[in-house]
Chain A
Amino acid sequence: DSGVTQTPKHLITATGQRVTLRCSPRSGDLSVYWYQQSLDQGLQFLIQYYNGEERAKGNILERFSAQQFPDLHSELNLSSLELGDSALYFCASSGLAKNIQYFGAGTRLSVL
């Protein structure tokens, strides 16, 4: 168990809908990262938050947004969903050992 909790584990929704993925980092970790894993794109970095502030942005679509709350949990919001958004979404956190990231079990999103 990595200590990173992601909910829900599975999400099935329709095109055009909006969903929220939630992540609780390891206790004390200030950095949270979101990654997307799909068959065609592989594992891609989306966005990083550090202690509530956005720190780095990757290939994140404008339809996607994220935030980190004062209790350090993070949410990834995906809107106007398309079939191609179907993927595994991972959250990771890092703390004192800043280079090592601990991954949650992921949320599997299926857009039908």
Chain B
Amino acid sequence: SQQGEEDPQALSIQEGENATMNCSYKTSINNLQWYRQNSGRGLVHLILIRSNEREKHSGRLRVTLDTSKKSSSLLITASRAADTASYFCATAGGQETSGSRLTFGEGTQLTVNP
């Protein structure tokens, strides 16, 4: 079953604009991650934020986490046509030494028009 919802389900913007995607989850987490998937291909890890962090940056990406609201947002600044993809949030629950399963949201389909 899915951990939660992502919103919006689809987002269409112009190149150069910023894109914001939101994710909600249901259970307590150890960390939350964002992954990107180009049409029908494998997922690529973008950024990880731990449960004790509130904000993290990586290049044009900014992630926030609000554990009291069980929500996260991903901001992509100065978007490019190459950013067109589906974006998924994924939560990991435990602190397993062997790694933890990921529970994915439903994803946001981002289209950046040139």
Q: Which residues of A contact B (CB under 8 A)?
A: 2, 4, 30-31, 33, 35, 42-45, 48, 50-51, 55-56, 58-59, 88, 90, 92, 94, 98-106, 108
Q: Do A43 and B104 touch across chains, with their CB atoms under 8 A apart?
A: yes
In B22-47, the 8 Å CB interface with A consists of 30-31, 33, 35, 40-45
5 A-B pairs (CB sep. < 8 Å): A48-B101, A56-B101, A58-B101, A101-B99, A102-B45
CA distance A101 to B104 in the complex (A): 13
**How many A-B Cβ pairs are below 8 Å?**
73
Nearest-neighbor residue (CB-CB) of A30 within chain B = B98
B interface: dominant SS:
loop
B77-108: contact bitstring with A at CB < 8 Å (1 yes, 0 no)? 00000000000100010001111111111110
